Structures are given as C-alpha cells and as structure tokens.
Amino acid sequence: MSLEKNKAIIRRLIEVENKKDLSLLDEFIAPDYVDPILQIQDREGYKQLDTNVFNAFPDWHTTIEDIIAEGDKVWVHFKSTGTHTGEYSGNLPLIGKITLAPTGNKITLHYIIIWRIADGKIVEKDSAVYDLLDFYKQLGVIEYKGFPDEVK
C-alpha cells in the first residue's frame, strides 16, 4: 500500500471513533490485531478498549496533530479531550486494571502512536508514548506536587 493510503486508514479510523461508530472498526482493525502495551490480542479487545473509553468519556474527541508514514508504519501525534462523566473500567498503562468512578474532570491527553499496517488493516500498535503523569493528574488518580526542593 502507498504511504498516503496508510495515512488515510488512520485518518478514517479517527473519524469513525469520533462518531463512536464501533461497527465500522472492522474496516480498519485486523482480526488478529495486537497491542502489547495494553495487552490486547485481537480486534474485539480493541473494540472493548474504545467502549470503555467512550463509556467513561462520552464526549471523547481525538484530533490528529501530525502524521508521518514510512514503509508499513504510521506515526501519529494525537490530542484527545473528554469529560470523565462515566465509570471507567479497564487497564490503564502503568497502573493496571482499575475501576474509576466519574470525576466530572475535563481532560486533555497528548500521545504518539506508531501503528503497523498490512493489507489495508491496522495489525499492531508498534509503540506508544502517553503523557500519563499529566493524564492521571487531570483525572485525580494521582496528586502531583512537583519536585522536592533538593532536586530543583
């Protein structure tokens, strides 16, 4: 596939996710999709992750800040926003399984994902970088007070 087609797959995926139409994910996510970071082993696991996020953040919206393709990989810098008005139940990176009651907090999450695409479908999340400290602080999961004076 061409680099532009690979980027178009990611752009269309985000459009579908922003509409919360998970029935269309089969067009973009391979049945044997793998995400080693979140321990997802198939397309149904990907759909479950989206379901958990959309239940917790019904107004969740993602924008693509930047997108680069090379070979079979697409690098994407995202910004997502949402209001935590529903219960979140699932895996959080570095924390593990958690159930989080609604906080009403508005959050903004910046992250970079590298996806691998084969035969027109996303087959693997190759790598991801999330600003989890800020995300968890916004949710109220952690309290961050800054560095101790002796580190400054």
pTM of this structure: 0.87
3-141 under CATH 3.10.450.50, yes or no: yes
> In the predicted model, is pLDDT for residue 152 greater than 60?
no
Burial, 99: exposed, middle or buried (Cβ in 10 Å; 0-12, 13-18, 19+)?
exposed
Task: Give the chain's length.
Answer: 152
At residue 151, the pLDDT reads 58
At residue 97, the pLDDT reads 77
Q: Residue 140 — very low, low, confident or very high, per pLDDT cuts 50/70/90?
A: confident
Separation CA 61–CA 104 (nearest Å): 16
What is the rounded average pLDDT of the residues 11-37? 95
Q: Residue 100 — very low, low, confident or very high, per pLDDT cuts 50/70/90?
A: confident
Q: Give yes or no for a contact between 100 and 139, defined as CB atoms under 8 angstroms apart.
A: yes
Separation CA 152–CA 71 (nearest Å): 43
Backbone φ and ψ of 27, nearest 5°: -70, -25
